[in-house]
Structure 1
Amino acid sequence: MAAQGYVHAWEHYKDELHLLDKKLELLYKRRQKLTPDPQTDSFRGMFVSEDEFIRLIGGLGSEDELEEDEQEIGEMIEELEAAILLRREESRKAGLFLPLAYLSTVFGFSSIEERFVMLGLAVELDRKYERIFGFLLDDLTSKTPNISLALQIACHSPEEMRAARTTFMAPEGKLARYVLHPDTLHVNGQTLLSRPLQLDKRIITFLLDSGELDPKLKPAVSMVYPDDELAPLLVQEDFQERLRSFIEVALEAPVAERKRLAFHLWGNAGAGKKLQVMHLSRTFNKPLLLVDLADVLLHAASLEDQLRAIVREAILHQAVLCFTRLEVLYPDEPDLLAQQRLGRFHELLDGYGGMVFLLAGRFNRLSWKPKERLLLEHELAVPDESGRARLWQAFAEELGVGADVDYRVMSGKFRFTPGQIRRALALARGYSAWQQESARDGSGGALRSDALYKACYQQVQHKLERKATRIEPRYGWADVILPPEQKDQLRNACNQVKYRGVVYSDWGFEKKLAYGKGLSMLFAGPPGTGKTMSAQVVAGDLQLELYKVDLSQVISKYIGETEKNLHEIFEEAQLSNAVLFFDETDALFGKRSEVKDSHDKYANIETAYLLQKMEEYQGITVLATNLLNNIDEAFLRRINYVIKFPFPDSEYREKIWQSMFPPAAPLSDDVDFKYLAQRYEIAGGNIKNVVLSSAFLAAESGESIRMQHIIKSIRHELQKSGKILARQEWEDY
């Protein structure tokens, strides 16, 4: 009659326990020949008798001839082993999940190693085995077999026993590393054979309960199953196809030539690294085990034990193993502990036979030299402007929001990853709803422009404040009093940012430019002519953050430190696409001098380095100088816009005077702006100081702002620069 498969796992365990009972019976009968009536010996286990001594030095007596009843039990054992194998095979064909058989397959256990696992499981299935093992060990306090007893039960010959000992003697073996309780191999003061054979609690749970993720690994570890719903890939579809094709080819190679695969992916937060791995895992119908290394380091009492448990979980589920936030294992200044930690991490990865992904927010030069594994690297870069525009539109439709904002302009202003774009829209929807509820403006579900920009800035994580000061733009185009030519240049510069998506993406100019797609401007003119104000107008018009670089935090007398500071500034600015404003740059980057000593040489290097970083930066860089002649010509050639701020003539000075007084200011009828503009040749910055000073003088006297207050303030302002007004110029006031 053909063998039938098992109905469920517990039926399989029933057969395995029946087989174990027969092995225990055979072992008892063989021992009984040497100790005929052990129960009558009340001192059994307390001393070694002469008969027992003779038996011990004579070995196990395995070569003695078996008696008839022992032979019968031995034949029954062979028949049971064969029957179990047949039923297991039929169960496999029928697709029935048998935990013990599955465990042996995924870990690659031999038949003897599987018997050891079954011995450790027996006490969890039936408590009678606690007493049986205690009896056989001459110690009823023992609840589990020791390794010596396990070898006697599981092995058929002394040769098999000697070979099986290496399973326990090699702590790096899979049985010892992943299945046995740590105490099995690490009990102090005990010989190897006397140590208890215990299964790890996680293995017991897996064999008896379910295949759910080990709860002790949460929240640092999560599982994504092939049938889980995934967000679609809206960008980098070509990389997904390339990855899938490469893996398929690798898996089709002959087993002897097949290499295990590992991939190192890096990119800014929200670049879609995890989503790429999720889609790939689903393509190959594999679960994905996601491990947050930062959480592991934060919560794990023992990093090595936690990582071993993670690798074991990946083997149990035959999952793709994916580690995120890899950079936490690569600190900027690694100490000995960090190096040792990284070494153990690499060793544990070598013990995993499945596919491995290492995800990081930045590039790390990996020190891992995997054994028999191919390690490939790829950057998931920020999508280009046309890709970002598609993402803005797609996520807006997904979230069901509308806006009066041109998403092509948004894609040009913010170099966001897909995740950042989606989070910005979701956050802006909440901000808009709150503002609409407060204002009761009845604008429905439309996104407010200010809410969207606020949400965009929330996505930006940078540290520019270390070496730069944020300036809140408070001026508009109406506040800038400049000749039409300069004002047109400023507007053209802003339009270059607004329509860069059309030019670079739609018209194909991006393929012609490997770098230099940012915007650089040089504002040159005397102090007080509106350079800083114009920088604020540009940032305000584009609704971008403006940071004024603190030169004291940049310039260093030590060679190489200035370049290091500049690198940090541009690196942080790249995350936010902020407007960088370098004031008085002639003090930092003047004409490149003839090299006469090492200081001249390194000063020229600093200038060249600034040029390089400005060209690499895809945002806006604004440089301001009072002395255009001090700027090197090669420097000027690389600037997109050189805008010269002239000293204002009387016509523009009159406009500046008028624009400086707010509508609410009490202005006397005797104030003559034309007279002030023609009489006093001062720049807009000085006019601002005069207006503010005169307002305080008027407030002190309890009057409206009169001409006498303004003239007195002009006197004080000119005295700062050493100029003195003649009496006839002010005595009328």
Structure 2
Amino acid sequence: MANGSILDAMKIAYGQGIRIVAYSGDEGSGRKFFVKHFCKEKNMKAVTINCKKLFTYDFGYVEKALWAAVRECIFMNACCVLDELTYREEEKEKFLGYMDLAFGKLVERDIPVFTISREKLNLKEVTMEEYVDFDLPAPSNEERQKCWEYYAKDYELAEDCDLLEMTIKFIFTPGKVADALKHARTLATMEKLDKIPRALLFKGCNAQMSSELSQKATRVEAKFGFDDIVMNADQRETITHVIEQMNFKKQVYEKWNYVKKYPYGRGLTVLLFGAPGTGKSMMAQVLAHELNLELYRVDISKVVDKYVGETEKSLSMIFREAKKCNVVLFFDECDTIFAKRSDDGGSNQASANNKTALLLQEMEAYDGVCVLATNYKHNIDPAFFRRMKYIVEFQFPDPDTREMLWRTTIPKTTPLNEDVDIRFLAERFEFAGGNIKNCILNAAFLAAADGDGEEVCMRHYLQAIRYEFVKTGKVFTKADFEPYAYMVGLGENPDEMDVDF
């Protein structure tokens, strides 16, 4: 419904004696705009109540606060805005009781009431009064492009900025478009730039990420690019295809009109599987870095909830908020939530199956990139494999790959002693990339603390490797370190041994 139609509907409803209007939609979708417009038309003020905060108190406190709001509305000739209306499933009865109390005190005194929520509320559960509700959807591509063009007129953008690219990548409401440009200009001013470059415009957009998503997922700074990760030919080819699919979505789906044949499931789902430390988490960063998108790792422990319906609500929120900024969602150790479904008749199993089914639906509906990683592919529900666009295996590195990992991970600025034998380290010690990174870093600190700390020597790497063996519980012998066993205290230095002739 267009803005004009909503305003007209509000006037008609008020003229018919309806005093409750419910608005639902995302932040910045215009919910409070319509309240302000109503107040301006009726020459009224607005008293706003933060219900999310108020409803955490006991009944007596809430009742006193509502009486205070009623008096304020009467004295000021104001409407009442019940803002931030939300509840957890186990708090529903308490929430409905407080809503009933609020409507009873306000409506019977002919005070106009506006409810503001993200999700659509069924107010019939708390009031017999008539009401009208408006669900404000996210703007279409065309509407978003007009918003970008309208607000961008007040800013100096660099030539590399493409408003159509911003329109497609970020599902923003008008309010968020304005805030993104404002934030980008602040960043440009701090860097003493006359115009806003593309990189800062992206930062301005990413800064609009909802705090709700941060409650269930952790932002990961994607520092690694293609040149920072060791991949085999198959992995490189697959990841290149993923990046190309995202970069050419507009051309294929819109210009070539493939959207008619593929109206659903246009996002990309990538499953990474392999032994721990083989580079799965790093690959998620590479994807986000190459696509110039934010990366959020979903915290499974914060998503799964013991209360019925709460896990499903969290999953829906994660994908809804991720969609707005087109972030890359990373589900690490995904087998904990994407486990195989069962036909058991128990209620717990039925609930687990429902969560799995919902997750499949959300992933298919998401237009962005979902990266799933697991150490145990056999634990994943087979239904997920059919919905994966790409599946990439991370094999345990062979000696040649390990040598490349050693050489590329050691910074070029490292003062290496000439006794360091990288080939020996790669051939003798069967480590994954994660273990190799640990050894390289620990060796650097051992060298820095050793005497003058001028060079990293072979003994520092071998000592770090021994620590890694102990940490991981692997059994090692003197033979594993020969001919350098003496460097880790497992033998004598042959150059210093007394020889009798």
The two structures have a TM-score, normalised by structure 1, of 0.55
Match of 2:102 among 338, 341, 344: 341
Q: Which residue of 2 aligns with 1:268?
A: 26
1:537 Cα deviation after fit: 1.9
Match of 1:716 among 467, 475, 492: 467
1:704 Cα deviation after fit: 1.2
Match of 1:621 among 329, 352, 370: 370
Change (3 A) 1:641 1:343: farther
1:481 Cα deviation after fit: 0.8
Q: Which residue of 2 aligns with 1:460?
A: 209
Q: Is the aligned partner of 1:293 residue 2:48?
A: yes
Opposite residue 662 of structure 1, the aligned amino acid is: P
Which runs of structure 2 are paired with 1:360-379 in the superposition (5 Å)? 360-367=117-124, 375-379=131-135
Work out whether residues 404 and 447 of structure 1, in 8 Å CA contact, stay in contact via their aligned partners in 2: no
Work out whether residues 470 and 545 of structure 1, in 8 Å CA contact, stay in contact via their aligned partners in 2: yes
Change (3 A) 1:545 1:394: same
1:244 Cα deviation after fit: 7.2
Opposite residue 704 of structure 1, the aligned amino acid is: E
Aligned-partner Cα distance in 2 for 1:344–1:266: 23
Q: Which residue of 2 aligns with 1:174?
A: none
Q: Is the aligned partner of 1:481 residue 2:214?
A: no
After superposition, give the CA deviation of every residue in 1:128-175 in whole Å (9 maximum; x if it has no partner): xxxxxxxxxxxxxxxxxxxxxxxxxxxxxxxxxxxxxxxxxxxxxxxx
Aligned-partner Cα distance in 2 for 1:656–1:426: 43
Aligned-partner Cα distance in 2 for 1:274–1:545: 29
Q: 2:120 aligns to what SS in structure 1?
A: coil
Change (3 A) 1:699 1:542: same
Which runs of structure 2 are paired with 1:309-348 in the superposition (5 Å)? 309=75, 312=77, 326-328=83-85, 333-334=94-95, 336=97, 338-348=99-109
After superposition, give the CA deviation of every residue in 1:396-429 in whole Å (9 maximum; x if it has no partner): 1233444523333333332211111111102211
Q: Is the aligned partner of 1:531 residue 2:280?
A: yes
Opposite residue 265 of structure 1, the aligned amino acid is: Y
Work out whether residues 412 and 500 of structure 1, in 8 Å CA contact, stay in contact via their aligned partners in 2: no
Q: Which residue of 1 aligns with 2:143?
A: 387
Change (3 A) 1:468 1:492: same
Which runs of structure 2 are paired with 1:548-567 in the superposition (5 Å)? 548-555=297-304, 562-563=311-312, 565-567=314-316
Work out whether residues 447 and 454 of structure 2, in 8 Å CA contact, stay in contact via their aligned partners in 1: yes
After superposition, give the CA deviation of every residue in 1:215-246 in whole Å (9 maximum; x if it has no partner): xxxxxxxxxxxxxxxxxxxxxxx624545787
Q: Which residue of 2 aligns with 1:412?
A: 168
1:465 Cα deviation after fit: 4.2
Aligned-partner Cα distance in 1 for 2:394–2:86: 51
Q: Which residue of 1 aligns with 2:456?
A: 705
Unmatched 5+ stretches in structure 1 = 1-237, 252-257, 314-320, 437-442
Match of 1:592 among 341, 354, 379: 341
1:338 Cα deviation after fit: 4.6
Q: Which residue of 1 aligns with 2:497?
A: none
1:306 Cα deviation after fit: 2.5
Which runs of structure 2 are paired with 1:496-511 in the superposition (5 Å)? 496-509=245-258
Work out whether residues 329 and 338 of structure 1, in 8 Å CA contact, stay in contact via their aligned partners in 2: no
Work out whether residues 66 and 102 of structure 2, in 8 Å CA contact, stay in contact via their aligned partners in 1: no
Q: Is the aligned partner of 1:434 residue 2:190?
A: yes
Change (3 A) 1:326 1:513: farther
Q: Which residue of 2 aligns with 1:396?
A: 152
Work out whether residues 46 and 73 of structure 2, in 8 Å CA contact, stay in contact via their aligned partners in 1: no
1:673 Cα deviation after fit: 3.0
Aligned-partner Cα distance in 1 for 2:297–2:358: 19
Change (3 A) 1:564 1:706: same
Q: 2:413 aligns to what SS in structure 1?
A: coil
Change (3 A) 1:513 1:264: farther
Among the aligned pairs, what percent are the same residue?
35
Q: Is the aligned partner of 1:679 residue 2:435?
A: no
Opposite residue 365 of structure 1, the aligned amino acid is: N
Larger CA deviation: 614-623 vs 636-645: 614-623
Opposite residue 540 of structure 1, the aligned amino acid is: H
Aligned-partner Cα distance in 2 for 1:663–1:290: 65
Change (3 A) 1:712 1:245: closer
Q: Which residue of 1 aligns with 2:353?
A: 604
Match of 1:731 among 463, 470, 483: 483
Q: Which residue of 2 aligns with 1:302?
A: 68
After superposition, give the CA deviation of every residue in 1:175-200 in whole Å (9 maximum; x if it has no partner): xxxxxxxxxxxxxxxxxxxxxxxxxx
Work out whether residues 329 and 371 of structure 2, in 8 Å CA contact, stay in contact via their aligned partners in 1: yes
Change (3 A) 1:713 1:559: same
1:545 Cα deviation after fit: 3.4
Q: Is the aligned partner of 1:646 residue 2:403?
A: no
Unmatched 5+ stretches in structure 2 = 55-64, 488-501
Aligned-partner Cα distance in 2 for 1:603–1:247: 43
Aligned-partner Cα distance in 2 for 1:396–1:513: 32
Work out whether residues 156 and 196 of structure 2, in 8 Å CA contact, stay in contact via their aligned partners in 1: no
Work out whether residues 412 and 498 of structure 1, in 8 Å CA contact, stay in contact via their aligned partners in 2: no
Q: 1:522 aligns to what SS in structure 2?
A: strand
Q: 2:49 aligns to what SS in structure 1?
A: helix
Change (3 A) 1:363 1:505: farther
Aligned-partner Cα distance in 1 for 2:477–2:397: 20
Change (3 A) 1:377 1:501: farther
Aligned-partner Cα distance in 2 for 1:674–1:306: 79
Change (3 A) 1:650 1:393: farther
Aligned-partner Cα distance in 2 for 1:612–1:259: 42
Larger CA deviation: 502-511 vs 340-349: 502-511
Which runs of structure 2 are paired with 1:32-47 in the superposition (5 Å)? none
Aligned-partner Cα distance in 1 for 2:42–2:158: 37
Aligned-partner Cα distance in 1 for 2:3–2:443: 67
Q: 1:580 aligns to what SS in structure 2?
A: strand
1:523 Cα deviation after fit: 0.9
Which runs of structure 2 are paired with 1:73-222 in the superposition (5 Å)? none
Change (3 A) 1:519 1:281: farther
Change (3 A) 1:364 1:597: closer
Work out whether residues 47 and 73 of structure 2, in 8 Å CA contact, stay in contact via their aligned partners in 1: no
Change (3 A) 1:416 1:499: farther
